[in-house]
Structure 1
């Protein structure tokens, strides 16, 4: 029973991470393509809230449910696929943390452009390119973690 509950919570958390990340990316890209500071300010504000409520919560709960699940099933944490999953989780986090700050900054730059009745400043485009580029390694890491969780390959690391 506990194992089933932990497995469900872990899968739900992984789904929230991937789904929220994909949704955020889609809506930010579409808003940015409009080049309308009002739209971008609104969408970026919503994205910041979504990242705080959904992504951050899942980021905290994933290692907890994963640890509990590994203990309940009897998998050693030194299992190769678990170690690699954790390394990829950290890698995804290293790209996600700056993205959170960038999203806040993009929102603020768009709000400033709206208030000044001005176009988006060049700093917006520079930050947006960094935000966009950070998404690729983060998403690739999460997808690789899904693969590792599903296949549990026999990986010898040490």
Structure 2
């Protein structure tokens, strides 16, 4: 297998991990919070934080590395409009993902405390959860847009380049 094929495979696998882990995390978080049971929420958010650390963070690092290697091996200039736009959207995804990770940790800790005290979730839990939920939409749409850019490679002129 040529280096280009290996890089392409790793890049697609990384994109799959990012997208799939994001969808799975969203699904399990929504389902857990719907129970309103602090023990269930604490357990699920604990797993979500681990999944984001192990899978998402690893893929987040690997995607630009494999993308750079792939672009170089194929001969795509890095100032191609679709590449620049994909990178800009990748930054947007990151700007939404980083606070989401912090929120997940806070939600986990709040649920753990409520479970330990056998009490209801604290008042701030729902506000933080709504922010977490809302941040998923722009990140999800940006990832879909990146997929579209990678698949179609449209001719886009950005910043006077190309």
Does the TM-score normalized on the shorter chain lie above 0.5? yes
Q: Does 1:145 align with 2:146?
A: yes
- Aligned residue for 1:43? 44
Measured in 2, the distance between the counterparts of 1:103 and 1:114 equals 16
- Aligned residue for 2:129? 128
- Aligned residue for 1:20? 21
Task: Please list every run of 5 or more consecutive structure 2 residues that lacks an aligned counterpart in the other structure.
Answer: none
- Aligned residue for 2:119? 118
- Aligned residue for 1:4? 5
Q: What is the CA distance between 1:59 and its match in structure 2?
A: 0.1
- Aligned residue for 1:108? 109
Taking only aligned residues, the RMSD between alpha carbons, in angstroms, comes to 0.4
Measured in 1, the distance between the counterparts of 2:60 and 2:112 equals 28
Measured in 2, the distance between the counterparts of 1:153 and 1:22 equals 27
Measured in 2, the distance between the counterparts of 1:99 and 1:61 equals 20
Q: How many residues are treated as equivalent by the alignment? A: 158
TM, length-normalised to structure 2: 0.97
Deviations 1:96-150 (A, max 9, x none): 0000000000000000001111000111101000000000000011010000000
Task: Please list every run of 5 or more consecutive structure 1 residues that lacks an aligned counterpart in the other structure.
Answer: none
Measured in 2, the distance between the counterparts of 1:21 and 1:118 equals 30
Q: What is the CA distance between 1:41 and its match in structure 2?
A: 0.2
TM, length-normalised to structure 1: 0.99
Following superposition, which runs of at least 4 residues in structure 1 exceed 2 angstroms of deviation?
Answer: none
Partner SS for 2:84: helix
Q: What is the CA distance between 1:51 and its match in structure 2?
A: 0.1
Measured in 2, the distance between the counterparts of 1:71 and 1:61 equals 15
Q: What is the CA distance between 1:82 and its match in structure 2?
A: 0.1
- Aligned residue for 2:86? 85
Q: What is the CA distance between 1:23 and its match in structure 2?
A: 0.2
